Amino acid sequence: MQDLPRQTTRIFEILSKGYFVNSNSNDSEQRELYTIIDEHSDQLKSYFVQIGFQLEQGDDYFYFSRKEDKATMSRKIETAYKWIDILDFFKTFNTGFAPGFRFYSTQVVEEVRVNGLLRNKLNDIDKGKGVSARDQIEKILTRMEREGFIEKIDDFNDTWKVTAALHYMEQLILALDVTEDETDIKAEKS
């Protein structure tokens, strides 16, 4: 096997925790790691598969996948449905919500205040009775940041940026939609 990049350990540390490596990250280390993975993807794929990890590439991001048992898959599908609601919320907030999109959390809070549909979608996501919209939104933003779908790029103005990893969520949703359509077609044929 050819020599692996010296950053292989760091790449593993990030990806094995379930995080993404994005090409459009504000973090220079992450952009550098993306370039390294992209340039050495065949070597890294061969190496990681030997230890039970499948290096996957999406539109400007990398991540690990593994075979899962049915119970784990069931839990992941349930989680995916929550992400559908979150993505729907943000696409309702602004149809341009996509990688590279920048926004302020205060914009989201204000839009929830004046848009009843958005308020209902927020309440469907986070059933926090008695919790302010601001707190609900902060909780969702923190979760999205932890998962790598957004990054905080300015603490002072509370500015956020959508990362390329959002494509992963969009692809996941499309895969779930296809599965539901196939199920409907099979049911109609029966």
| Number of domains, the chain | 2
User: Is 172 domain-assigned?
Assistant: yes
Indicate if 40 and 108 belong to the same structural domain.
no
Indicate if 85 and 165 belong to the same structural domain.
yes
User: Is 2 domain-assigned?
Assistant: no
pLDDT at 113: 95
For residue 190, what pLDDT band results from cuts at 50, 70 and 90?
very low
User: Is 190 domain-assigned?
Assistant: no
Indicate if 74 and 166 belong to the same structural domain.
yes
Three-class SS of 52-121: CCEEEEECCEEEEECCCCHHHHHHHHHHHHHHHHHHHHHHHHCCCCCCCCEEEHHHHHHHHHHCHHHHHH
Tens digit of each residue's pLDDT (9 = 90 or more) over 83-115: 899 999 999 999 999 999 999 999 999 999 999
Indicate if 101 and 57 belong to the same structural domain.
no
Tens digit of each residue's pLDDT (9 = 90 or more) over 115-170: 999 999 999 887 766 789 999 999 999 999 998 999 999 999 999 999 999 998 88
- Please give the average per-residue pLDDT across 161-186, as a whole number: 71
- Please give the average per-residue pLDDT across 161-185, as a whole number: 72
Residue 26 has pLDDT above 70, yes or no: yes
Residue 125's domain spans which residues?
Answer: 70-179
Indicate if 24 and 94 belong to the same structural domain.
no
Q: How far apart are CA 30 and CA 17, in angstroms?
A: 14
pLDDT at 82: 87
Indicate if 160 and 78 belong to the same structural domain.
yes
Indicate if 41 and 116 belong to the same structural domain.
no
User: Is 80 domain-assigned?
Assistant: yes
pLDDT at 73: 67
